[in-house]
Amino acid sequence: MVYETGNQTVDESVAKVLDGDQIDRTEALALIAQPVEDLAPAADAVRAHFGDDTVDACSIVNAKAGNCAEDCGFCAQSVHFDTGIETYGFLDPEEILDAAKRAERDGAQRFGVVVAEKGVSKEKRPDEWADVLRAIRLVRDETDVEIDASLGILTEEEAEILADEGINHYNHNIETSPRYFPEIVSTHRFEDRVKTLERAKAAGMDLCAGVILGMGEAPTDRVDAVLALRDIGISSLPVNILNPVARTELGDKLGDAADITTEEIIKTIAVYRLLLPDVRVRLTGGREVNLDKDEQHLPFEAGADGILTGDYLTTEGQSPGDDIEIVERAGLRPNMEANEFDPEAVKSRSKSVADGAAESATASGDAELDD
């Protein structure tokens, strides 16, 4: 396959990737400076060459909220910031199963059990660890979705147990580059996160590990973060865009907007596709607040082929039906390898929920006027 834009920097990198070679840091940094109109379609051509024109959807449940002792500057769940979120201990495993069944009905291919803490500890909190395993088994045995987990830092023993229980992907984001990481987190090191990823991979789990864009990092940091993930060996790259939360460190520093433009988001996604041609590049949290509704298809025209659908950990997301429409607008289709579902039914359910909410809001408004 030959792909030419007339932009030598882009064309040479694309040719190298299509030949099965890797582009290096110097090439990636040169690419991220290229015009988006050259870079995005080139990355999409690479996605089409290595992929299958499907977008893989995952969903998560916030299985334990708040009271995290870590000081990640973006996180509403840290005890270091008074953000006013709801906090609770580990959910009943049956509640987690119910969430997984809803995700499956709405077209998710994989479902992640997520906790907000440094790590679920088998030794320090054995009862919680037992509930984690019970939840995993319920989802594994009673749904067709792939079961993933994001449980923080792991020991070798814990990683081996999770792999034996059937965890498909272990999620542990590195957030940013090694250089910029200390600007975001001080209570643990970048190397701690890498070590957990290495343990999870050694135990036999695939890795889902990604970044947050717009935290004040430089373009070089965006490249270096994914080069580190390429060295580790991941199969899914979640790309979050900061949604600044009031009273967090970054919320206070940046206000209500991430430190990144729409064009920079698209170009970064495109470079990630060229750096990781056979990895699911997954658009995740923050896209709704950083991209207008009529822009959200653009990352999928620049190499993205995965999405986190539904709600996030402490903020609401879009409906699965809306996400399917965005995917289809980009000329792609939902992945159905893990479970069969009807995309039109998902969209119809989402529309019914939206219409019901609108009717409720109208009725509420009428009542207020009547009063």
Which is nearest to 323 in space by CA: 313, 333, 338?
A: 333
| 75 in a known ligand binding site | yes
Q: Judge residue 19's burial from the number of C-beta atoms within 10 Å of its C-beta, 0-12 exposed, 13-18 middle, 19 or more buried.
A: exposed
| 193 in a known ligand binding site | no
Query: H or E stretch including 61?
Result: strand 54-64
| 58 in a known ligand binding site | no
Nearest-angstrom CA–CA distance, 326 and 42: 20
Nearest-angstrom CA–CA distance, 245 and 253: 10
Retrieve residue 189's tokens. Answer: 């090191």
Nearest-angstrom CA–CA distance, 311 and 148: 16
Nearest-angstrom CA–CA distance, 167 and 133: 10
Angle formed at CA 15 by CA 10 and CA 18, multiple of 5 degrees: 125
Retrieve residue 36's tokens. Answer: 């988006």
Nearest-angstrom CA–CA distance, 164 and 159: 9
Query: H or E stretch including 308?
Result: strand 306-308
Annotated binding site for [2Fe-2S] cluster: 208, 282
Annotated binding site for [4Fe-4S] cluster: 68, 72, 75
Annotated binding site: 68, 72, 75, 208, 282
